[in-house]
Chain A
Amino acid sequence: MGKQIKNSAGSKALTLTAWLIALVALFPFFMMVLISFRVSGDAYEPFYYIIKPTMENYKTVFLHKNYLDWYSNTIVTVVITILLRLLVTLPASYAFSRLKFKGRGFILGLLLATMMVPGETTMVPRYLYFKTLHLLDTKWSIILPEITEVFYLMLMTEFFRSIPEDFSEAARIDGCSHPRILSSIFLPLSGPSIATTVLFSFINIWNNFLDPYLFINSIDKQMITPALKFFQERGGANIPVQLAGASLAIIPILILFTVTQKYFVAGVSSSGIKG
C-alpha cells in the first residue's frame, strides 16, 4: 500500500486533485439528469437555468409503447450473452491454463492475434453474412458474435494460471475429473474474475450502439442505446427526452456496478491467491 506523503500541503493538493477528478466525472451526469427535466426549447439554456422543471419528458419515455420492449430486449440480450460467454469461456480458459494438448500455444496465439482487429472494420461483412444467415432483425445477431471475446478469455486464463498447481494436482490425485475440478475448485475461487467479466460485459453490450442500430430494424426488437434515438422532433433530436431515457437506462448498470464493485477491483488484480 502506498504510503501517505508527509508534506501536508502537498498531500492536501493531491487530495483536492482526486476530488476534482471525481467532480469532473460527476458533472456530466448531473447535467444529464438536470436537462432531462427541461422542456425541449430550454435544453441549451445555461447550466444554472432550472426554471419550470417538467416531468413531461419522463412521461413521454414511459408512455412510449416500446420503451419497456427496448429495456427488456436489452436485459434479455445482455443476460443471454453473458451466460453463454461464461459457459464457453470458462472451460476454454481452464484448458488453456491447465491442460496440455498439441497446438495449445498456437491456437491461443492465433486467438490473441485476431483480438487486434476492431469489430468496426468487419461491420460490412458481418452485415452481409448475417443477412445470408437470416440473423438480421433478431437478437442473435447481437448475441452470437459477442459470445467469444478473446479479452475475457485472456482475463480468465491469466486468472486460472495464478491458481496454484497444488490445488488441482491434489484433486487429480483424489480422482476428480477436469469438469469437476473446474466447477468445484476453480469456479468458487473465480468470484472476482467472474464479477469483472459480468460487469464489463454488461456495460459493453448495454452501451453498444452500432451493432443493434445496423442489424435490428423492427422498433419493438431494438435495444435501448440506439432506441434512444427514436426520440426525435422535426429538425433534430429531442434532447431532454433522450436524456430522460438515458437517465433511466443507466440504472441497471449503476446497480450492478455498486453490487460488484468490491469483487471486480480484486478481480482485475487476479492475485488474491498468490500470497
Chain B
Amino acid sequence: MKTKLTKSNLRDARTGYIFILPFVVLFAVFKVYPLIYGFAVSFLGRNSIRTVSDTTFVGLENYVKVLQSNSFWTSLEKSFQYALIYTVVVMVGGFLTAMLLNRKFRGRTFVRTMAYLPYVTNVIAIGIVLKYLFNPTKGPINAIFRAFGEAGPKWFSSPDLALPMTAIIGAWLAMAFNTITILAALQDIPNDLFEVADIEGASGLQRIRYIVLPMISSALFMLLTITVINSFKSYTTVVSLTNGGPASSSRVLSLQIYEDAFTYMKFSIAAAEGTLFTLIIIAFNKILDKVRAVWENR
C-alpha cells in the first residue's frame, strides 16, 4: 500500500503520536533518563559517603579505575559465564520440556501446571529451600550420594560449582516462559505435516529436525533475544543462593555494582561500571543480531 498525503493519513499520524506519547514520555523519564543520569554520575567524584552530592567533574578517572581493577573484569567474566549457562539451559530445557508436554498423556494438564510452578515462585523463598536441598552434609540430595558411599558434590559451597549451579537454578526458575511460548507455537504447526511424516515413516528426531524446528524458528529466535536479555539479570538469584560466594566465585557484575554503590558508597565508580556493562551488553546483542541475520539468510 502506498502512503498518500491525504487528510485521513494526516489524522492517522496525529492519532499515532498521541497514542504513543504517554508510553514514550514515561519511558524517557523513567528508563532513558536514569541511563543518562548514570552516565553523568560516572564522570563525577562521588566515591565515598562524604561526597555523595559532590559535583566535581573528574573526567575519565572512574573509568580508568574500573578498567584497571581486577574485580571488574573477573565479575564481568562471571556475568557472561552465568549468561551463557542460563541461556543454553533455558533454550534447550524450555524446548525439550515443551516437546514432552505437547504429547498427549494421562494427567497432562496437571503436569503442565506443575512445570510452570517455578516461574511463579519467589526466588528468596525457593532459594532458602534449595540451599537446604543441596546442603552437602544435611540435604536430601547428598544423602542419596552417601547411600552409594560417595560424599557427593558441594554444590553452592564449591567454588567450581557455585556459579553454574546458580545459573542453572536461575534458568530452571525462568524456563516455563519458554515452555509456554513453544507449546503455543507448536499448536500452530499444521497437522497434515505430521501426517505426511507418518506416511514417510519419519522418526521422532527427524520430525523435530525437519518439521518442528523450521516451523517454530521465528518463535525460537524471539525467545533467544528475550532469554539473552534476561540472562544478565542475575542479581536476586545470586544473592539468594550464594551471595557471591564462596570466596567471590559467583560474584557477578551486578553484585559488584550493588556493593560498590550501596555498601561502599562509591556511586560514581558503580555508575561507571553500570555504563560499561550496558555498553558491553548492547554490543554483545548487536553481534548476536548479526549472527542471527547471517543464519536466517543462509
Contact = CB atoms under 8 A, between A and B. Distances in A.
Interface of A: 1-5, 10-11, 14-15, 17-19, 21-23, 25-29, 31-32, 35, 43-47, 87-89, 91-92, 94-96, 99-102, 104, 107, 111, 113-129, 144-145, 147-148, 150-151, 153, 178-179, 200, 203, 206-207, 209-210, 214, 225-226, 228-229, 237, 239, 242-243, 246-247, 249-250, 253-254, 257-258, 261, 264-271, 274
Contact of B235 (A44, A210, A268): A210
Contacts of B111: 18-19, 21-22
Instruction: Report the 4 A-B pairs with minimum CB-CB distance, sorted nearest first.
Output: A269-B184, A246-B125, A125-B38, A22-B114
Interface size range on B against A: 35 or more
Contacts of A249: 122, 125
A107 B129 contact: no
A122 B99 CA distance: 37
A207 B123 contact: yes
Nearest to A206: B122
Nearest to B169: A28
6 contacts: A28-B130, A92-B23, A117-B278, A128-B37, A268-B181, A269-B181
Interface of B: 3, 9, 12-20, 22-24, 26-27, 29-35, 37-38, 41, 97, 99-108, 110-111, 113-126, 128-130, 132-133, 135, 138, 140, 143, 177, 180-181, 183-189, 191, 194, 197-198, 204, 207, 212, 226, 229, 232-236, 239-240, 254, 257-258, 261-262, 267, 270-271, 274-275, 277-278, 281-282, 285
Contact of B183 (A17, A125, A265): A265
B117 A26 contact: yes
Given A22-B114, A88-B22, A111-B27, A101 B16 contact: yes
The interface residues of chain A, by DSSP majority, are classed as helix
Contacts of A253: 120
B232 A118 contact: yes
A176 B119 CA distance: 41
Given A4-B103, A261-B113, A95 B257 contact: no
